[in-house]
Amino acid sequence: MSRLGVHASLDFVLASSDFVELKSGPLWELDIRYASANNFVGVDMYGEFNRAFLHQISAAMLTDAATKLAHAHPGFRFLIFDALRPRSIQRVLWSHVVGTEGEKYIGNPDRGSMHNFGFAVDLTVLNASGTALDMGAGFDDFRDIAQPQLEETFLRSGLLRAEHLENRRILRAAMEGAGFTQLKHEWWHFDALSREEVRARFSIVE
């Protein structure tokens, strides 16, 4: 990942009317993990691309989801971990997981992740006190316990508690109520449109 490449990506996004910048406010806070050392790689990979953007379609849906969340649970807000991610950064992430169990958590950059189009967002929920809800597994947790499709199995085993599932359902209800689809193996990841539609209609951000 070159500094020039990230700079070009930021210039492209800022010059385009297709993308909306997400800023901390009453609906959500930002904690962009790849713009810090607090991620599974342990280094800041975003550099000057340390801001959050989504395609305007996704941004409108996220606003709707945040409004639904606040209506159902007064005082609750989203905490956003990642949004638009240039493909140059996707290649860096991929290099750290290729050939490992972590591959299923990071989209192959040759095909492009939905993050690379601005149609995916990674997030959790803050309660009215500003504390993140306990989901039973953290962001970018590559263990099976992070997978929504295995929640009931882990609940029966006692490794997930009913509280964890209820917290995940709070997030899921708000996002799916606004039209997002949750990835089956990441409780934090939601796509605004189908992969097929995004790849057919929209351009990737390099």
**Contact (Cβ atoms closer than 8 angstroms) between residue 26 and residue 75:** no
* Confidence (pLDDT) at 131: 98
* Confidence (pLDDT) at 201: 97
Mean pLDDT along residues 100-117: 89
**Contact (Cβ atoms closer than 8 angstroms) between residue 85 and residue 132:** no
Torsion of CA 56, 58, 63, 69, to 10 degrees: 180
Mean pLDDT along residues 102-114: 89
**Domain-located, residue 72:** yes
**Domain-located, residue 127:** yes
The average confidence (pLDDT) of the chain is 94
Q: Quick: pLDDT tens for 86-107.
A: 999 999 899 989 988 788 888 8
**Domain-located, residue 13:** yes
- Residue holding tokens 């996707």? 90
Beta bridge partners of 28: 78
**Domain-located, residue 206:** no
Mean pLDDT along residues 99-120: 90
Residue-number span of the structural domain to which 50 is assigned: 3-201
Q: Is 182 helix (H, G, I), strand (E, B) or coil?
A: strand
Is the predicted pLDDT of residue 2 greater than 60, yes or no?
no
Q: Biggest alpha carbon distance in the chain?
A: 51
CATH number where 100 lies:
3.30.1380.10
**Domain-located, residue 81:** yes
Q: How far is CA 31 from CA 44, 134, 188, 198, in A?
A: 13, 16, 13, 26
Q: How far is CA 162 from CA 32, 137, 145, 153, 204, in A?
A: 28, 13, 14, 12, 39
Q: Quick: pLDDT tens for 150-200.
A: 999 999 999 999 999 999 999 999 999 999 999 999 999 999 999 999 999
Is the predicted pLDDT of residue 4 greater than 70, yes or no?
no
Domain count, the chain: 1
- Residue holding tokens 């690379």? 116
Is 4 buried (19+), middle (13-18) or exposed (0-12) by CB count in 10 A? exposed
Is the predicted pLDDT of residue 138 greater than 50, yes or no?
yes
* Confidence (pLDDT) at 1: 46
**Domain-located, residue 9:** yes
* Confidence (pLDDT) at 100: 87
DSSP annotation string for 97-137: HTTSGGGGGS--TTT--GGGGT-EEEEEEE-TTSPBP--SS
